[in-house]
Structure 1
Amino acid sequence: MSSSGLLQELYTAFMAGMLIAAPPMIAAAVIGVVLAIVQAAVQIQDQSLPQLVKIIVILVVLVAFGVPLSTPLFEHTRRLFAAFHVMTR
């Protein structure tokens, strides 16, 4: 396999991983900002409340959208295994 082919495979794998990781991280960031504003408005000093809510939001996003988000990674893995004998020559 040439170096350009290897770089293409690495890029595809990286993008598939980012497609899985981005939605839960974006949801956690949005919830974190909203909770920070609410905490500042009501002057709550508790640090565990935002962490718990963010963990719950990440779990909900992964449960609700886990299968569609992981489809590109599964397809990339299937394609790699199918073409493995060609890549290793």
Structure 2
Amino acid sequence: MSKMKFKLNYSGIGMMMKSTEMQNVLSEHATAIKNRCGDGYEQDIYVGKNRANAMVKTSTYQAKKDNLKNNTLLKAVR
């Protein structure tokens, strides 16, 4: 058997991690998490230096209190 060499194309991976398609996938996941949390939560997507990022966070005092008491965000991630 011959040994196969594998070389990553780092610039291609970087472009893929920042792509619109990746942002759409992240948006779908963030929306699902936000919907499981209920009212008082919001989502945001931004492109950082190396990749696209999505986050769900509390936006009201009641949601902050709920998250502190019940770990709502952690449970919504599954």
> Could you tell me the TM-score, scaled by structure 1's length?
0.31
Higher strand proportion, which one?
2
Where relative contact order (Cα < 8 A, 6+ residues apart) is larger, the structure is 1
The structure where helix makes up a greater share of residues is 1
